[in-house]
Structure 1
Amino acid sequence: MQSHSHPGTTSSALTRLSVEVIRMTGADPNGYAHLPGLAPEHLHGNTYRTPAATTGRLADLTTVHVPWTDMAVLLVGQSHIGALGVWDYLITAAPTPLEGIQDAAAYFATVVDTATECLHIAEDGDHVTISHRSQADVTHEAACAIRAYALGILRQRLSQAAGRALVPLRVSLAARAPRRHDILSELYSTRVIHFEAPDSSITFRAADLKIPGPHTQPGLSTVLRRHADQILATAIPLHDWLSLFRTHLAAAHDEAAPTLAAVARRMALSTRTLQRRLDEHDTTWSGELENLRQTQITRLLETTDLSIDSIATRSGYANARALRRAVQRWYGTTPAALRSNSRRTFMTW
């Protein structure tokens, strides 16, 4: 799981939640709709991982329109079970709330950028303290909102896992004290809130977290952990503009022979702007298209029995002869030899 944590990205589920909340503030969509990862196919496709810079920018813009305390409450209010994907169910379907939050900490990467955020769980006699540490590159106001939201969603999910409202013994926030914190007292169901703490944390009675939950099913947690592993293993991280371009190019290639104009339309850009952006990233349309074709052709040769003619057609080459020239240029050999060598290597393994 650690090898698929995808640093620098967050889940599309978290991004959808962030977009929903910023819309609720009445912010002008023109101020954020252009951000990487917010194209409909990426925002609503659970396979994709949004650049962490995008979710950070959304948080920054939201706190321009509402106080950070209100932003935290809005986020929790929109976080129905399932809004954060499998992570929610890891908590609510575990044998006990404590086991659920332990799984959630281990699979925090299914939601956030674990290069900047983590959960730590400490048992101390009759108490269990869950700490949330965040070093996201955002403004101070946005950082306060993120930390307050994290503790709010933890209390909400643990209460849902327990089948009753859990009241924490104390809450500590790595945030400045607001003028009034009634809204936070309501969010956490306690007035025992300490501000300007080194780390944000929420503490419960251990007994409250060790009672079997009402949604427990034998073996379900194992299935959910496997599902979380699969989600992380198959995720497509969108680290930057070039990553986004390549996902659009691959999608266009899957549908038909891609053209510069077709991909530009997908990205809501003019062809001139698209060419300029490619140049800024030290690449070209023809070079990107050939790299995509090389990857696809190599995979088809190594994993299928399709004829060379069929592969040429699928890959956008005029005929098998053109494909053979391309493979010779890439690898200095023929498609048949490349296929044979790859299978011989597989047999050796």
Structure 2
Amino acid sequence: MPMPRRPFPDNTPGTSRSTSATIPPNILRYLALVADGYGVDLHSELTRVGLDETVMRSAGLRVSYRQGSAVIRRAVELTGDAHLGLRVGAAQHLTAWGLLGFAQLAAETLRDAVETGVRFQNLSGAMVVWSADEEETGYVLRADLPDPALDPTVAVFLAEEAFASVVTLTRLSAGVEFAPQSVEFAFPAPPDMHPFTELFRCAVRFAADVNRMVFPMVWARRPMPGRDPVTYAATVEVLEQAMASRRDQQDLLEVLEISIAQSLPDVPSVVEQARRHASSERTLRRRLAECGTTYEAVVDGVRRERVEQLLYRSEATMRDIARQAGFSDVRALRRAVRRWHGVAPRQLRAREGRVGS
């Protein structure tokens, strides 16, 4: 049962918006389980990006694309598995996506299940952008990366996880004999093709223009074993309400981030922000909690984005960066960068080929 889903409904990665708490942490939960099988404990990495064990158990938790990418990158490094995404996708269960998965189980056909996933992809916790359409070759499912300049390690993981989960969940829900007509990945061919052909059981091509999977039309039209029009309609109604709520939350986060970014190096207090929104501090904090975040976390995310922009895209001195990002001094900047990345600002800049100032 495919899981088409998207992290940011109206967002261009690379802007301050990318620091928002926006997606359920489904991928990270399965990543931690798979990594544990390698003897790798990701708890410290999750905590490093602000996701401790208690937080990860929260049903209302939303994590940022940046948090997810940081943990994925580190997990690939620690496990030594360049194709960890395949394992994570193949480890997933029918219950992974909550009500959205339930709606897909109750859909009339496999194609209807896919299109339901595309429609409500923002609710499922994906880190790719899904789309689907019928073409001459068959029913085509695409998984686009939200940022073409994404770290290659993370990009490979996300493409692999996306299609591995599609195949695994389709077999669990519609038939174990399912095999795509073809699978194409935009990244270069790996030295060992066996894990791909073993999982997908079809032709797999690399260095393609896009990440795409082609369903045979006979499978796209295949009735879902659990189809139930009444249950499907009732579940979709709940999903639509959740989507409306998520849009309101995203609007709030976007307005706050823009306000903070425009105010730097000064940072408006939460009381001031509440006044700007004709609200009380308590109400604003409650609304942010419903988004799975806090005002302090939003400020931290905007500052982080500003620091990285200055480190990567300019030759500003550390003193200038600290000032422009609203830090009291260079020492406060260093502490923040070490918390975010585990290295000093000059080391982070060196990774991008910049000369420290």
Where in structure 2 are the equivalents of 1:1-349 lying within 5 Å? 5=9, 7=11, 8=18, 9-25=22-38, 26-27=40-41, 29-36=43-50, 38-66=51-79, 70-112=83-125, 117-125=128-136, 127-136=138-147, 138-190=150-202, 192-235=203-246, 282-284=267-269, 294=280, 296=282
Residues 29 and 221 of structure 1, relative CA distance in 2, 3 Å threshold: same
Amino acid corresponding to residue 124 of structure 1 in structure 2: E
Q: CA deviation at 1:75?
A: 0.9
Aligned to 1:50, the other structure's residue is in SS state coil
Structure 2 partner of 1:320:
none
Which deviations, in whole Å up to 9, do the C-alpha atoms of 1:36-88 show, x marking residues without a partner?
3x144542223232111111111111121235554123212331111122332
Taking structure 1 as the reference length, the TM-score comes to 0.63
Aligned to 2:130, the other structure's residue is in SS state strand
Amino acid corresponding to residue 218 of structure 1 in structure 2: P
Q: CA deviation at 1:158?
A: 2.5
Residues 27 and 96 of structure 1, relative CA distance in 2, 3 Å threshold: same
Structure 2 partner of 1:333:
none
Residues 68 and 239 of structure 1, relative CA distance in 2, 3 Å threshold: farther
Amino acid corresponding to residue 31 of structure 1 in structure 2: E
Residues 285 and 296 of structure 1, relative CA distance in 2, 3 Å threshold: closer
Residues 28 and 152 of structure 1, relative CA distance in 2, 3 Å threshold: closer
User: Number of paired residues?
Assistant: 256
Q: CA deviation at 1:234?
A: 3.6
Say if 2:104 and 2:117, in contact at 8 Å, map to a contact too: yes
Q: What CA distance in whole angstroms lies between the structure 1 residues aligned with 2:241 and 2:54? A: 20
Aligned to 1:10, the other structure's residue is in SS state coil
Say if 1:172 and 1:199, in contact at 8 Å, map to a contact too: yes
Say if 2:184 and 2:212, in contact at 8 Å, map to a contact too: yes
Q: CA deviation at 1:285?
A: 7.6
Q: What CA distance in whole angstroms lies between the structure 2 residues aligned with 1:120 and 1:297? A: 37
Q: CA deviation at 1:201?
A: 0.9
Q: What CA distance in whole angstroms lies between the structure 2 residues aligned with 1:188 and 1:198? A: 19
Structure 2 residues without counterparts, runs of 5 or longer = 1-5, 12-17, 258-263, 285-357
Residues 22 and 288 of structure 1, relative CA distance in 2, 3 Å threshold: farther
Amino acid corresponding to residue 225 of structure 1 in structure 2: V
Which range moves more in the overlay, 159-168 or 57-66?
Answer: 159-168
Amino acid corresponding to residue 68 of structure 2 in structure 1: T
Say if 2:185 and 2:210, in contact at 8 Å, map to a contact too: yes
Residues 163 and 198 of structure 1, relative CA distance in 2, 3 Å threshold: same
Residues 212 and 142 of structure 1, relative CA distance in 2, 3 Å threshold: same
Q: What CA distance in whole angstroms lies between the structure 2 residues aligned with 1:121 and 1:297? A: 40
Q: CA deviation at 1:203?
A: 1.0
Q: What CA distance in whole angstroms lies between the structure 2 residues aligned with 1:43 and 1:234? A: 21
Aligned to 1:105, the other structure's residue is in SS state helix
Which deviations, in whole Å up to 9, do the C-alpha atoms of 1:12-43 show, x marking residues without a partner?
3333233334444415633331313x144542
Q: What CA distance in whole angstroms lies between the structure 2 residues aligned with 1:297 and 1:142? A: 37
Amino acid corresponding to residue 169 of structure 1 in structure 2: Q
Which deviations, in whole Å up to 9, do the C-alpha atoms of 1:133-175 show, x marking residues without a partner?
1134642122111101111111222233323321111110111
Which range moves more in the overlay, 131-140 or 90-99?
Answer: 131-140
Say if 2:90 and 2:164, in contact at 8 Å, map to a contact too: no
Q: What CA distance in whole angstroms lies between the structure 2 residues aligned with 1:42 and 1:174? A: 34
Say if 2:120 and 2:243, in contact at 8 Å, map to a contact too: no
Amino acid corresponding to residue 282 of structure 1 in structure 2: V
Say if 2:93 and 2:169, in contact at 8 Å, map to a contact too: no
Say if 2:86 and 2:161, in contact at 8 Å, map to a contact too: yes
Amino acid corresponding to residue 53 of structure 1 in structure 2: R
RMSD: 3.4
Say if 1:167 and 1:188, in contact at 8 Å, map to a contact too: yes
Taking structure 2 as the reference length, the TM-score comes to 0.61
Say if 2:43 and 2:53, in contact at 8 Å, map to a contact too: no
